[in-house]
């Protein structure tokens, strides 16, 4: 069990804050035209993400087992069917798929630690930064090397048990990461085109919103809060009984959102002030823009290296949570040794990740289905399909199946709080997911 509420907050925040905030949020915002996308994303966080996160923590604490067995136990205690553990199984699959490419991108961040430290970007302009990134992406062996390093570190930590390392990492490194992000926002305000950058993020222009953007926003709300696959449920299993779930979850969601918006405010002013860069540049956005800032700041090489190191740590604390549902299940069910499970899982993810490594070079023109590269495909299946569907099922179970006394005991709501919760988890959150899904399917047929 976590020693206190604080440790749970730190672990869950460590899971939530990661590449999703700093790498993915800015680039998908850029691809989807900015402001309107951000509004939809924020609405998804507040109306769908927060209630579902509360549901996951509640289910985890009520079951106190791995997600698969927690769902088994709670479904049978509430007279539900044997169908519900499918949430746990889908979650194991989603975690595996996500980690396979997450480790590849995290490897890029690790690689950039050394690149910045060695002064490659001193005085760099847009063209130089873009060229350095393109050269790296063209070399599958280099990407493979850093993917392997990242995966090895992750496996090492999960094999040893996570509690202590995680606590230090999150308690000290996360605030530092936030401070450095604010320094970058300051750089953007001083040197970049801050007005256009902020305008891009916050001006609401409905015409820029596409159907694909809706689905991306919904998927990303799940991704960034680590929802829909049982990661937060697995952590909830270790939460002490007395802690307020609503307060804790709100804190985590706010923190996660602040980090994402800060990353956007750091990146877009640089994009608009630099010749040759575009918001819709894609997955390379963070790696092309931020080195320009560091290359032109005093002590930029050192500060930049520290920044990418912190991003790498943030990625490790997220990667750990992607493995927890599978790991907890295998250890609990088969009494398997943690070390052995961690190594096998890591090896499997690493192998699958090679497909993603090759998507950026050798297989760049190989399409699995409908124009999607291997990376795009794994990404699509996991975060646009498995996470929202998992989240929908979690909401339905928590709202309609789970026995009332369990909910009352876990959440401790009364009066209006109870009614608000019921409305959110029974209707608003499921309807939100269904509308976005339904609309997307309607538009594409
Ligand atoms: N939330 C993490 C990020 O933003 C990624 C992540 C960790 C995740 N655990 C998860 C995503 C579970 C979905 C489900 O980088």
Structure tokens of 319? Answer: 């990667």
Confirm if 262 and 13 have CB atoms less than 8 A apart.
Answer: no
Asked if residue 318 has its Cβ within 6 Å of ligand 1, the reply is yes
| Coil, helix or strand at residue 228 | coil
Which atom of ligand 1 is found nearest the CA of 321?
A: 9
Which atom of ligand 1 is found nearest the CA of 383?
A: 13
pLDDT of the residue at 298: 84
Q: How many angstroms does the Cα of residue 226 sit away from the middle of ligand 1?
A: 4
**Alpha helix stretches (DSSP H) within 118-139:** 126-137
- Calpha distance 37→28 (Å, rounded): 9
- Calpha distance 92→42 (Å, rounded): 27
3-state secondary structure 255-273: HHHHHHHHHHHHHHHHHHH
Confirm if 153 and 300 have CB atoms less than 8 A apart.
Answer: no
Q: How many angstroms does the Cα of residue 69 sit away from the middle of ligand 1?
A: 21
Question: Which residues are CB-neighbours of 169 under 8 A, at least 6 positions away?
Answer: 14, 313, 316, 317
Nearest C-alpha neighbor of 263 from the set 203, 299, 307? 307
pLDDT of the residue at 290: 94
The DSSP-derived string for 72-116 is: HHHHHHTT--TTTTHHHHHHHHHHHHHHHHHHHHHHHHHHHHHHH
Asked if residue 284 has its Cβ within 6 Å of ligand 1, the reply is no
Question: Which residues are CB-neighbours of 69 under 8 A, at least 6 positions away?
Answer: 63, 85, 88, 329, 332, 333
Torsion of CA 50, 51, 53, 55, to 10 degrees: 170
Quick one: CA dihedral 60, 8, 429, 90, positive or negative?
A: negative
Which atom of ligand 1 is found nearest the CA of 222?
A: 13
pLDDT one digit per residue (tens) for the chain, 445 residues: 666 778 888 889 999 999 999 999 999 999 999 999 999 999 999 999 999 999 999 999 999 999 999 999 999 999 999 999 999 999 999 999 999 999 999 999 999 999 999 999 999 999 999 999 999 999 999 999 999 999 999 999 888 876 666 777 777 888 888 899 999 999 989 989 999 999 999 998 888 888 889 889 999 999 999 999 999 999 999 888 888 999 999 999 999 999 999 999 999 999 999 988 999 999 999 999 999 999 988 889 998 999 999 999 999 999 999 999 999 999 999 998 989 999 999 999 999 999 999 999 999 999 998 889 999 999 999 988 999 999 999 999 999 999 999 999 999 998 899 999 999 999 999 999 998 888 877 776 6
Which atom of ligand 1 is found nearest the CA of 21?
A: 4
Asked if residue 15 has its Cβ within 6 Å of ligand 1, the reply is yes
Structure tokens of 424? Answer: 């959110």
- Calpha distance 22→117 (Å, rounded): 20
- Calpha distance 168→6 (Å, rounded): 12
Query: Phi and psi at residue 372, in whole multiples of 5°?
Result: -90, 130
Q: How many angstroms does the Cα of residue 225 sit away from the middle of ligand 1?
A: 6
pLDDT of the residue at 276: 87
- Calpha distance 267→255 (Å, rounded): 19
Nearest C-alpha neighbor of 112 from the set 284, 271, 363? 284
Task: Give me the residue label for tokens 């961690």.
Answer: 342
Confirm if 57 and 45 have CB atoms less than 8 A apart.
Answer: no
| Coil, helix or strand at residue 66 | coil
Asked if residue 399 has its Cβ within 6 Å of ligand 1, the reply is no
Which atom of ligand 1 is found nearest the CA of 225?
A: 1
| Coil, helix or strand at residue 237 | coil
pLDDT of the residue at 164: 65
Q: Among 11, 13, 14, 20, which is best to mutate for testing ligand 1, by the most ligand atoms less than 8 A from CB? A: 20
Nearest C-alpha neighbor of 51 from the set 216, 321, 250, 325? 250
- Calpha distance 381→190 (Å, rounded): 40
């Amino acid at each position: 069990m976590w020693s206190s509420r604080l440790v749970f907050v730190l672990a869950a925040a460590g899971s939530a804050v990661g590449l999703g905030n700093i790498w993915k949020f800015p680039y998908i915002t850029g691809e989807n035209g900015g402001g309107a996308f951000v509004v939809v994303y924020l609405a998804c966080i507040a109306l769908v993400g927060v209630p579902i996160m509360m549901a996951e923590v509640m289910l985890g604490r009520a079951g106190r087992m791995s997600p698969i067995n927690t769902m088994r136990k709670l479904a049978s205690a509430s007279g539900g069917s044997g169908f519900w553990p499918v949430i746990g199984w889908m979650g194991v699959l989603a975690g595996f798929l996500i980690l396979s490419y997450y480790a590849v991108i995290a490897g890029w961040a690790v690689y950039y630690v050394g690149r910045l430290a060695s002064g490659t970007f001193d005085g760099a302009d847009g063209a130089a930064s873009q060229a350095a990134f393109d050269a790296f992406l063209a070399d599958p062996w280099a990407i493979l090397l850093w993917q392997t390093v990242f995966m090895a570190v992750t496996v090492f930590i999960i094999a040893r048990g996570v509690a202590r390392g995680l606590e230090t990492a999150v308690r000290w490194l996360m605030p530092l990461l936030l401070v450095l992000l604010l320094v970058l926002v300051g750089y953007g305000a001083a040197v970049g085109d801050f007005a256009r950058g902020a305008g891009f993020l916050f001006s609401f222009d409905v015409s820029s919103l596409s159907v694909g953007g809706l689905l991306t926003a919904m998927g990303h709300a799940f991704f960034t809060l680590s929802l829909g696959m049982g990661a937060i449920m697995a952590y909830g299993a270790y939460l002490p009984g007395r802690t307020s779930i609503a307060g804790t979850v709100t804190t985590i969601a706010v923190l996660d959102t602040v980090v994402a918006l800060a990353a956007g405010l750091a990146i877009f002013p640089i994009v608009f002030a630099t010749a040759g860069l575009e918001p819709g540049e894609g997955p390379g956005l963070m790696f092309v823009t931020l080195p320009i800032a560091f290359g032109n700041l005093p002590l930029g090489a050192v500060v930049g290296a520290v920044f990418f190191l912190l991003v790498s740590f943030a990625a490790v604390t997220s990667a750990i949570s992607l493995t927890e549902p599978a790991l907890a299940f295998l250890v609990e069910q088969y009494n398997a040794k943690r070390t052995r499970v961690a190594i096998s899982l890591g090896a499997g993810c690493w192998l699958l990740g090679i497909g993603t490594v090759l998507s950026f070079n050798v297989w760049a023109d190989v399409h699995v289905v409908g124009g999607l590269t291997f990376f795009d495909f794994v990404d699509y299946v996991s975060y646009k399909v498995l996470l929202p569907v998992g989240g929908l099922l979690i909401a339905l179970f928590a709202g309609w199946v789970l026995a009332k006394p369990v909910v009352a005991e876990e959440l401790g709501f009364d009066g209006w709080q109870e009614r608000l919760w019921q409305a959110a988890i029974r209707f608003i959150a499921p309807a939100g997911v269904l509308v976005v899904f339904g609309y997307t399917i309607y538009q594409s047929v």
